């Protein structure tokens, strides 16, 4: 009888311990969410509509580490990256849930203008041509554009002239595609996904890939035999920013304040460090 009572007590204590751990984990998650919230004025026609439906819809293209990628590490599919963390912080600051719509990069602005998504965060450069179509928040990052090549070709491409007649891979709809088409004409070959570009480069179907520096570094770090060339005098790309449909001024203003707050607090820099490290560890699929 005593042994039976003892066993019951042990089971009860274990249950309480697990319950306590669960509460602690939930508490830590809530504290983490609160830590990146930015207080903003959350009123206006667009924000009121978002609050009414209880969610803000993000459009992204999850093939761009460390900005965003699809992770399968815990047995389920989820989106990771700097841009996803930023989107979640925006949702938390507005007091709504985040819904992610993953699509081809070239379709993002069309979906935003059609109202299928509320914002686009996808390592998108806020250049003058795009600013004619949509509004942008303050820039949260700025980087270079580079070439990614195979190890055997790293000493062959030292000037743009060395790339004459070579096939250059870019992602459709990007600033890299625009620049490459201006520079290399019909030798520029566009693809929907960066992952496909990397496979084409490994298979030698293209001679070089033209990418933003950050994802180029990540792909080079997880792919044997690929190296970066960054001394060709390629101009810096426009800074990354959150894209919002024109006319949604209340949302643009709120997101602008959130981005500024996250930059000023150092949180954006922390996310870059965190997700660069994480994407190096994961096999990007």
> 36-142+238-281 and 145-229 share one CATH topology?
yes
Spatial distance between the Cα atoms of 268 and 126, rounded to a whole number of angstroms = 18
Is residue 159's pLDDT more than 90? no
Q: Return the CATH superfamily for domain 36-142+238-281.
A: Periplasmic binding protein-like II (3.40.190.10)
Note the pLDDT of residue 264.
96
145-229 has CATH 2.60.40.10 classification = no
CA 279 to chain centre: 11
Greatest mean pLDDT among 82-96, 137-151, 203-217, 266-280: 82-96
Q: How far apart are CA 170 and CA 164, in angstroms?
A: 16
Nearby residues of 243 by Cβ (< 8 Å), 6 or more positions away: 108, 109, 112, 119, 120, 121, 124, 126, 130, 134, 135, 136
Residue 145 above 90 pLDDT? no
Measuring CA to CA, which residue among 73, 86, 62, 65 is closest to residue 271?
86
Q: Per residue in 29-58, pLDDT tens?
A: 455 566 678 888 778 999 999 999 999 999
Give 160's pLDDT tier (boundaries 50, 70, 90).
confident
Domain positions in the chain: 36-142+238-281, 145-229
- Evaluate if residue 2 carries a pLDDT over 60: no
Contact 122, 244 (CB under 8 A): no
């Amino acid at each position: 009888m005593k042994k039976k009572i003892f066993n019951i007590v042990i089971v009860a204590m274990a249950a309480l311990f697990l319950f306590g751990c669960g509460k602690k984990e939930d508490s830590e998650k809530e504290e983490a969410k609160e830590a990146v919230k930015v207080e903003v004025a959350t009123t206006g026609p667009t924000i009121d509509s978002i609050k009414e439906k209880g969610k803000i819809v993000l459009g992204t293209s999850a093939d761009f580490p460390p900005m965003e990628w699809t992770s399968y590490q815990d047995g389920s599919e989820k989106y990771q990256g700097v841009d996803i963390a930023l989107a979640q912080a925006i949702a938390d600051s507005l007091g709504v849930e985040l819904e992610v719509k993953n699509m081809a990069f070239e379709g993002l602005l069309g979906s935003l203008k059609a109202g299928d998504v509320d914002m686009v965060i996808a390592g998108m450069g806020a250049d003058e041509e795009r600013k004619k179509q949509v509004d942008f928040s303050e820039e949260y990052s700025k980087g270079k554009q580079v070439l990614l090549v195979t190890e055997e070709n790293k000493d062959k491409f030292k000037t743009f002239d060395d790339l004459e007649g070579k096939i250059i891979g870019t992602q459709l709809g990007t600033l890299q595609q625009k620049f490459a088409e201006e520079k290399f004409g019909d030798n520029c070959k566009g693809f929907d996904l960066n992952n496909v570009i990397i496979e084409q480069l490994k298979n030698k179907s293209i001679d070089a890939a033209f990418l933003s520096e950050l994802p180029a570094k990540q792909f080079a770090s997880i792919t044997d035999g690929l190296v970066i060339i960054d001394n060709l005098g390629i101009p810096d790309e426009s800074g990354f920013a959150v894209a919002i449909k024109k006319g949604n001024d209340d949302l643009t203003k709120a997101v602008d304040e959130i981005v500024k707050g996250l930059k000023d607090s150092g949180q954006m820099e922390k996310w870059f460090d965190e997700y660069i490290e994480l994407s190096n560890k994961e096999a990007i699929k």
